[in-house]
Amino acid sequence: MLRYHTIPVTAFQQNCSLVWDDASLQAAVIDPGGDLDRILAAVEERSLRLEQIWLTHAHIDHAGGTGELAERLGLPIVGPHPGDQFWIDGLPQQSQMFGFPPAKAFTPTRWLADGDSVTLGAHTLHVRHCPGHTPGHVVFHAPEIQRAFVGDVLFAGSIGRTDFPQGNHQQLLDSIVQRLWPMGDETVFIPGHGPESSFGRERQVNPYVGGT
């Protein structure tokens, strides 16, 4: 079975998630924005074999620890979509601007596109390109456990900001309605910040996308 554990990291309390196959203990980490020692302690506590880094997008609180972690453990970096290249290139400047530890720019081992998939042990997660918060934002959908790791596209009661460079409000709404909702009302999503919710609940009560 596919399992996951969420670890809020950095001063921004970003939801970094460990995802693993409970048979093989092969694991990936989604959005290691910082606090790498805390992340690695959670890996060790569960006796996981961390094999991959998956990124939803390249804002500092999601990607700040990626270069160091990849270098330290020799891990491949998977994602995001190439639209976020400029955010990756700007990680050192982002870290200074927001008071984060120095962050390294990097080149992903594999870029992701809409319709791609990623595998972990016996499990496959589907990739959807969901631009709007950033142009290269992707979401990881695990239908077998009805979970989606959505980064900063959607939150419980809110949606991602679109006032950053190359953000687009209408594009974000389209991503949510056209690419998240078809995953099903029962699907629970793990947002980049704050508590989990379900797509069905957000379709009812979210002030930005309720009733869509």
Give percent of the chain with pLDDT exceeding 90: 100
pLDDT, tens digit (0-9, with 9 covering 90-100), for 1-14: 999 999 999 999 99
Q: What is the CA radius of gyration of the chain?
A: 16
Pairing relation of β-strands 117-120 and 77-78?
unpaired
Describe the chain by its helix, strand, coil percentages, rounded to 5: 30, 30, 40
pLDDT, tens digit (0-9, with 9 covering 90-100), for 44-82: 999 999 999 999 999 999 999 999 999 999 999 999 999
pLDDT, tens digit (0-9, with 9 covering 90-100), for 111-135: 999 999 999 999 999 999 999 999 9
| Residue 37 pLDDT class (50, 70, 90 cuts) | very high
Nearest to 60 by CA among 100, 16, 30, 11: 100
Query: How many other CB atoms are there within 10 angstroms of residue 198's CB atom?
Result: 17
Alpha helices (runs of H) in the chain, residue ranges in sequence order? 36-45, 60-63, 66-73, 85-89, 91-97, 169-175, 199-205
Structure tokens that stand for 10 in this block: 């950095």
**In the prediction, which pLDDT does 206 show?**
98
Average pLDDT of the residues in 78-102: 96
**In the prediction, which pLDDT does 109 show?**
98
pLDDT, tens digit (0-9, with 9 covering 90-100), for 19-33: 999 999 999 999 999
